Each structure stands twice: as structure tokens, then as C-alpha cells.
Structure 1
């Protein structure tokens, strides 16, 4: 399908679940204000969010610019620039975009997706995968089957299946009391309350909170919060925030302590991490 932009006619759009092709891609070009991230795969300005929804087809979202995040039951992912997220068929999910986002979306039928990961995950987009998605987005919506377009679609499936997975994933608890804590922390990431403080806020003992969180996420409270901070940091840095601002917004005493946490988790400093992302784009 021709790459969509802010000048595209709405008549060009068709529900990807209804397109009778195993693989169909949509591209992004231009800047719009409507929240149509998955509906038309366009650029986004500021912060856009879609409610929980699902597709019959699986989908891969590739972020070339900006930051995407995705939540499904039991998990939360951050998708930095030059990475992608795979969302299996019929998975209930919610996508949020921060900053100006350029993305490509490929929808894949359940039959064609049989060899792809069974669960939601981020994948590192290889240069070949990026070029394949960009090229396929220029195909007609009902491209001829059996020709070059079909061969390229097969290559896309092979590349997704072989792509390494990312590590910016956060297990999400389902217990209502734990979920309340999660929601409060997401509203105010700088809150440095202890496990005991948080347990008291939702009527739990510190021991019960720790036990439940470990059962549902496999993490201690401190490890879970650090992983959440790490993901927010990548999101905010990708949106243009300075290291000092991110450290302040996450409640760190200094930029140095934040940088130390970031380096231990991802093996490099925030500045180098984001520079690597920019170079790859």
C-alpha cells in the first residue's frame, strides 16, 4: 500500500484484518494529530494512546523515530528507535506513542505467523528487516500473489523469526492490590517509598507484598521498580529529555547515581545508548 501521510485520503485505508493477504504492511510519512497509530501507521506528535484492543492478525510495529510502549495482560514493553515489538494474533494490547514517532506496521495472518514467537516480545530490527518493511509498505494493498511481493513477504517472516529479542520488558502483576501500587508508581515515578510504605498503603504486610510480587512477576519490589525506571528513562531520553531531567523525574539524588544504575543495567551510559540508537537510524 502507498505510504500514508497527513494528506492521504481516508478512502485509502482498509482494516488489515480484512485484507486477503498473509502479510500486509503500512508505512508512515508526515505529521498528524489524530490518534491513529495502528489504524493508519502514521507519524505522531506529542503523546498518543489507544485503548486496549485486539486484531485477528498478529502485528509487528517497527519504530524508526520516537518511542513506542505496549501493555498486554502480564507485561509492559518499551520499544526504542530502531527496535520493534511483535504482538501475536488476538492479543489484547494497548499502544502508546511518545514524541514524534515514525513507524512501520506489518500485519500477519495466524497461518503465516505459526513460526513466530507465541508471546509478545520486542525484537532488534536488523538492517535487512527494516528495509524489507519499508519496501513492502510501498506495495499495493492487494499485491499480486506468487510474485516478487510474496517472496519479500516470506523474507519478512524469516527475519522476524530469527531476530534477537530485546530486554526492555516489565512483568505486570494482576493482583488488584499490586496493580494499585503499580498504577500509583506509574503516576509518580519519583516516589521513593519503601516496600513497607507501599504495603501499608494497600493494606498488605511487607512480607505478603514481597511474596505476591515475586509470584506474579518473578522480581523483588526493588528490582521491579528499577526495571520500570530504566524503561521510563529510555522512553524519556528518546523523547529528548536531558539526563539530569530524567534523574530528577525518577527521584534519584543525582544524575551520577542514575547513570550508574543505567550503565549496570544496559552496559553503557545513557548518552552512549541513545547515540548508538541515532547512529543506527
Structure 2
């Protein structure tokens, strides 16, 4: 297991917003963790390079290339750089939030929006809101409001029995216990487990488990692990079976998430 290094949130992110939309650029070394913090405003985080893991009190989000995570105001979150990351954060004044999703989520970034975000990296935060830079940022806001949600959110259960399951799966991702077997381990019927997963995460156990597998897989892929080893780690019968599951659920082959650096 790599040793993770704790780092502080950026100074800019803790100050009062001077502009309706503030842009913050930051590079984070691999295996670094930005300590848990929150903002009084909405935040959109986009990794220009690398892969992030964003964890709140209720969910975890893998943020791979071509996606970004939207966080509501006052949401405590911790950010982990799975690989070396160059990121751009946009902080939105609360008066602008009605245009953005009502829940924290991961958004898919198309090529046009990606180009706008990269151009915004050159904006300094003394720009003129009514000028060209302000227009660019308002266009980013508009395009984010239209961006589709993608499935990299993993809701956390709260029930101690389900947390026991989660802990065991994280320690041994290859286990393929069904709900009857889990019931024998944690002392609950398969029906109870099924009901708890649906009520606490909004997902069935099978879908929740697939999302967890996808998060683990993306983390391993970006570190350079082979598809064969990842397939074995997650308990799939073959690399092709794993690749099929991955593509069905993400729309991309695993190689799409391979680090380009």
C-alpha cells in the first residue's frame, strides 16, 4: 500500500470569493490527500491530468479524465490524488447555483467544455465580469448546467452490518459472496440486506457492488496495473468478462483510463 501524504486545502479556497466565479489552479503529487474541508460556495473540480478520488461523509466519487465532480456548498470533502494531478477548480457564488445540479455528482465533460476549461486556466481573478473573461466563465457555467451525470458516485451505507460488508470487500475485493452468504456473516437475512442497501444507498446490492468494482478498477488502471491482474483482484473469471462489465457500465474500455503520462 502506498503511503499517503496529507496536504492543506489551497489558501484561495478558504477566502471570501472576490468574483462571482473564481478559478483556482493546483498541482498535486501522486498519493497526496487534501485534508477534509468545506466551502461556503459551490465547487466544480476538473482534473486536467490524472485521477482524483473525492470522498464526502456520504459518498465517494472517482474523477477520471474527461469528468469533473460538482460539490454543493458546505459539503465536507477530502481529495486524494490517485496519480499526479493537475486540476482546475471553479468556485461559484451562491447566487449562480440555481443553474447547477441540486446534488453533488460527477459530470461528463465534452471536448468543447474541456477546451473552455483549459482556456480558463489563463484567467486571473481580477478579471472584468462583463468582459471577455467573464463571458467565458459564464459560458462554462451554462455548459456545466447541461452536462450529463455519470455513474462514478458510490453512496455509503450507514448500517453497521453493511459497513462490515464494505470493510471486508475492500480488504478482499475478489470475494463473490451472495446475499445469503453475507447474511450468515453479518447476522441478517438476505431480504434484510437487500432492503437496507436499497434504502440506504438508493441502489441494489449488485449495482452498488459493480460501482465499487469500477472505482477500484479505475484506481488500479491509472496506477499502471494490468487488466489481467485487476480482473483477478476483483474476482472475475477472465479479463474479457471484466472488460465487458467495465464497458457496459462506463461506456469506455479500461484502456481509456490508462495514465497518458
Does TM-score exceed 0.5, indicating one fold? yes
TM norm structure 1:
0.79
What are the Cα deviations for residues 62-84 of structure 1, in whole angstroms up to 9, with x where unaligned?
Answer: 11222112233443221111211
What are the Cα deviations for residues 124-167 of structure 1, in whole angstroms up to 9, with x where unaligned?
Answer: 11233223333333223333443222222211211111112212
Q: What does residue 72 of structure 2 align with?
A: 88
Higher strand share: 2
Question: Which stretch of structure 1 is more off in the superposition, 244-253 or 195-204?
Answer: 195-204
Q: What does residue 60 of structure 1 align with?
A: 44
Distance 1:100 1:26 in 2: 17
Q: Structure 1's 212 and 114: CA in aligned 2 closer, same or farther, altered over 3 A? A: same
Residues 52 and 83, structure 2, Cα contact 8 Å, conserved in 1: no
Shift of 1:25: 0.9
Q: What does residue 27 of structure 2 align with?
A: 42
Which runs of structure 1 show a deviation greater than 4 angstroms over 4 or more consecutive aligned residues? none
Q: What does residue 71 of structure 1 align with?
A: 55
Q: What does residue 24 of structure 1 align with?
A: 22
* Structure 2 gap segments, 5+ residues each: 1-9
What are the Cα deviations for residues 179-228 of structure 1, in whole angstroms up to 9, with x where unaligned?
Answer: 23223322332232332333333332222112111222233323321221
Q: What does residue 188 of structure 2 align with?
A: 204
Give the number of aligned pairs.
Answer: 253
Distance 1:206 1:238 in 2: 35
Determine helix, strand or coil for the equivalent of 2:235: coil
Residues 23 and 124, structure 2, Cα contact 8 Å, conserved in 1: no
What are the Cα deviations for residues 221-265 of structure 1, in whole angstroms up to 9, with x where unaligned?
Answer: 233212211222123213322101211221223223212322333
Distance 2:244 2:57 in 1: 31
Determine helix, strand or coil for the equivalent of 1:131: helix
Cα RMSD (Å): 2.6
Distance 1:152 1:146 in 2: 10
Shift of 1:108: 1.0
Q: What does residue 91 of structure 2 align with?
A: 107
What are the Cα deviations for residues 5-37 of structure 1, in whole angstroms up to 9, with x where unaligned?
Answer: xxxxxxx9534542311111122xxxxxxxxxx
TM norm structure 2:
0.85
Distance 2:20 2:186 in 1: 47
Residues 213 and 220, structure 1, Cα contact 8 Å, conserved in 2: yes
Determine helix, strand or coil for the equivalent of 2:150: coil
Superposition pairs for residues 201-240 of structure 1, below 5 Å?
Answer: 201-240=185-224
Shift of 1:51: 4.1
* Structure 1 gap segments, 5+ residues each: 1-11, 28-40
1:152 to 127, 136, 141: 136
1:14 to 12, 20, 30: 12
Distance 1:140 1:13 in 2: 15
Distance 1:162 1:223 in 2: 26
Distance 2:22 2:214 in 1: 33
Distance 1:49 1:14 in 2: 17
